[in-house]
């Protein structure tokens, strides 16, 4: 025992010793979270699907644990998630929602659909912009040239259309602004989805 603890009363020393201990309720909650995390791990690894997840979590019953599982699933989404991954995790969120006493499935479905639409809109805009830049690069052969310094000499190298597009500062600026804009919209949509959870 350190010197400052010597001056404490026996009751204070006992309380100090118990500070690190978990209450029975905290222990139950931690065990529940651990079970949920284990099931989610199997889901992420592809060993179980949304229906299996539903069956495995059906016995948990505690709305806080079910919400915890949904939040973890939603947090695992990223703007770079494939449409299939987004759909799979969305189905899992909805399956867990069905286990709640008062599910709000329709509002969650609406928000998940908004996220899917956001990804589709991003892909469509990117493809349209890429096709426009590609047509311009194909029309102008000078855009497919790159000067390369080799010692004292400067050489002109011919690039493929795709290489030329990737090198264009306008294309890089467009990519950067689109990624930033859509990433912000995606983050906002995900937060809105989490707010719908009860």
**Residues 77-100: pLDDT tens digits?**
998 899 999 999 999 999 999 999
Q: b vs e for 129-162, b when ≥16 Cβ sit within 10 Å of the residue's Cβ?
A: eeeebeeebeeeeebbeeeeeeeeeeeeeeeeee
**Residues 155-180: pLDDT tens digits?**
888 889 999 999 999 999 999 999 99
Res 15: pLDDT: 66
Does the predicted model carry a pTM greater than 0.75? yes
- Ramachandran class of 46: left when φ > 0, alpha when ψ lies in -120 to 50, beta otherwise: left
Q: How many domains does the chain have?
A: 2
Give yes or no: residues 64 and 91 share one domain: yes
Structural domain containing residue 142:
121-198
User: Is 112 a domain residue?
Assistant: no
Give yes or no: residues 63 and 15 share one domain: yes
Give yes or no: residues 99 and 146 share one domain: no
Give yes or no: residues 81 and 155 share one domain: no
Give yes or no: residues 140 and 185 share one domain: yes
């Amino acid at each position: 025992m350190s010197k400052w603890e010597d001056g404490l009363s026996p009751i204070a020393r006992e309380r100090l010793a118990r500070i690190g201990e978990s209450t029975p309720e905290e222990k139950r909650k931690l065990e529940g979270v651990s079970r949920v995390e284990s099931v989610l791990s199997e889901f992420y690894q592809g060993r179980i699907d949304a229906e299996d997840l539903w069956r495995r979590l059906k016995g948990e019953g505690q709305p806080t644990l079910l919400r915890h599982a949904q939040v973890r699933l939603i947090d695992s989404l990223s703007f770079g998630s494939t449409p299939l991954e987004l759909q799979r995790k969305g189905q899992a969120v909805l399956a867990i929602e069905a286990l709640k006493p008062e599910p709000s499935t329709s509002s969650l479905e609406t928000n998940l659909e908004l996220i899917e639409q956001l990804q589709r809109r991003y892909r469509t805009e990117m493809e349209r912009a890429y096709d426009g830049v590609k047509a311009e690069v194909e029309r102008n052969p000078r855009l497919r040239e790159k000067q390369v310094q080799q010692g004292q000499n400067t050489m002109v190298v011919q690039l493929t259309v795709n290489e030329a597009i990737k090198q264009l500062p306008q294309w890089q600026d467009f990519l950067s602004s689109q990624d930033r804009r859509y990433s912000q919209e995606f983050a906002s949509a995900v937060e809105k989805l989490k707010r719908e959870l009860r």
